[in-house]
Amino acid sequence: MQRYIQRNPVWSAVLALLLAVLLWLVLAPWSQGMEDVLGRKRVFLNAVFSGITLGALYFLVASGFTLIFGLMRNVNLAHGSLYLLGGYIGFEVSEATGSWLLAFPVVFVLIAVLGLLLQHQVFRRMEGQELRQTMVTIGLSVVLADVMLWIWGGQSYTIFLPDWLSGPMTLPIISGTGRGGEVVYLKFPMVRMAILFAAIVIGVAMWLVLNRTRLGMLIRAGVDDRDMLTATGIRIQYVFLAVFCFGAGMAGIAGIVGGSFQSLSPGEDTRFLLASLVVVIVGGMGSIPGAAIGALIIGLAEQIGLVYAPTYSVVFTFLIMAVVLAFRPQGLLGR
């Protein structure tokens, strides 16, 4: 951080200014003139907060994707299918047991075992052949999508939330003034704040594991130079298995989260595959903080675009990706 500021003072100043403007827009009450230009503050705030929570969901999906990619150079194009499968299984578990929380460990273990099998039985056989691995994941995604269509059909599912998560909560942020001049605070769905909180906790935990533990050290070393790590006598296959397990499990969990505040239907796997791809391209391949920043940017762009320019919101996402590719092909935090 400090090194970055020292090296790029101009860019740091621009970024800090942008951040300050955004904060001011969120925190300060808007004057009449501003509401005329930008529309109601409530709409803007809702877009910003939806964008941040959508970014949190994208982060949950993309963090596993970026870890797998960074370590194994395996573009797992079946990642979206793992997400959707996790969502469906979570739906079944929470329907059968009536417990929303129980779905998380069950799905994590099941999808992680599936990931384990994939890595151990399929990808390990064609190690170093990146293109072939990628094609295998495409074949798997085609097969998995059809299996899921077979079992769960074409209709859309929503996972029911427990009572303590449904309903709105009031945030200490001013959304506007009422008729009598009293201050109105922003109301926002409880579940989205919970998702945001969970994503932050998971992100911090991942950062701690990566930076403070032996396993994390192995993973970082493997991302930097896999051959050298193998040469030092580390059994890298176990590290691969652990990372693939974890990445797949995260995708499954994200499926429950996505199925709870959005819905699950056959097209969702490609939607989240696209989201992970763009997040990872923007943020930088193999970098967890990069995935967080990329997810935040893409989530915000998508939601703000949806509010202010409905037909072109996809174009914003695409433009961001193109600009990043044009000026920083390795991604914002990639090396």
Partner 1 sequence: MADITKSRTDTPTLWVERVHPAVWALGLVMLFMPAFANGFWLFQVFGWTFILGMIALSLMFLAGYGGMVSLIQMTVAALGGYGVAILGPSGVAQISLGLPWWLYVPLAIAIAALFATLVGALAVRTEGIYTIMITLAMASAFFYFTRQNYGIFNGYSGFNLVVPPQLFGVDWRQPVPFYYLTLGCAALAYAAVVYVARSPFGLALQGTRDNPRRMAALGFNVTAHRIAAYTFAGAIAAVGGILLVWQNAQIAPGTAGLPAVFDILVIAVVGGLRRPSGAFVGAFIYVLLRTFSPDVLTAFGLSNERFKMLIGFGFLAMVVFSPDGVLGLWDRWRARAGRRDPLTGKERG
Number of residues that bind partner 1 (CB under 8 A): 45
The β-bridge partners of 177 are 183
Residue bearing tokens 């800090």: 16
Nearer to partner 1, 25 or 126 (CB): 126
In one letter, which amino acid is 11? W
Among 193, 278, 292, 300, binds partner 1 (CB under 8 A): 278
Among 53, 63, 141, 287, binds partner 1 (CB under 8 A): 141
326 binds partner 1 (CB under 8 A): yes
Nearer to partner 1, 13 or 323 (CB): 323
117 binds partner 1 (CB under 8 A): no
Among candidate residues 266, 298, 280, the one with its CA nearest the CA of residue 50: 298
Span 142-201, contacts to partner 1 by CB under 8 A: 142-143, 145-147, 149-150
Work out how close the CB of 132 gets to partner 1 at its nearest, in angstroms, rounded to a whole number: 6
121 binds partner 1 (CB under 8 A): no
Among 2, 128, 131, 163, binds partner 1 (CB under 8 A): 131
Nearer to partner 1, 250 or 277 (CB): 277
Span 69-88, contacts to partner 1 by CB under 8 A: 73, 75, 77
Q: Which run of H or E residues covers position 174? A: strand 168-177
C-alpha 165, offset from chain centre: 21
The pattern of x and - marking residues 28 through 67 that bind partner 1 according to CB under 8 A reads ----------------------------------------
Burial 14-23 (b: 16+ CB within 10 A, else e): eeeeeeeeee
Among 34, 102, 116, 135, binds partner 1 (CB under 8 A): 135
Task: Find the DSSP H helices in 28-99.
Answer: 32-38, 41-72, 79-97
**Dihedral sign of CA atoms 207, 208, 209, 213 in order:** positive
Q: What length is written for the chain?
A: 335
Work out how close the CB of 149 gets to partner 1 at its nearest, in angstroms, rounded to a whole number: 8
Note whether 55 and 293 are within 8 A (CB): no
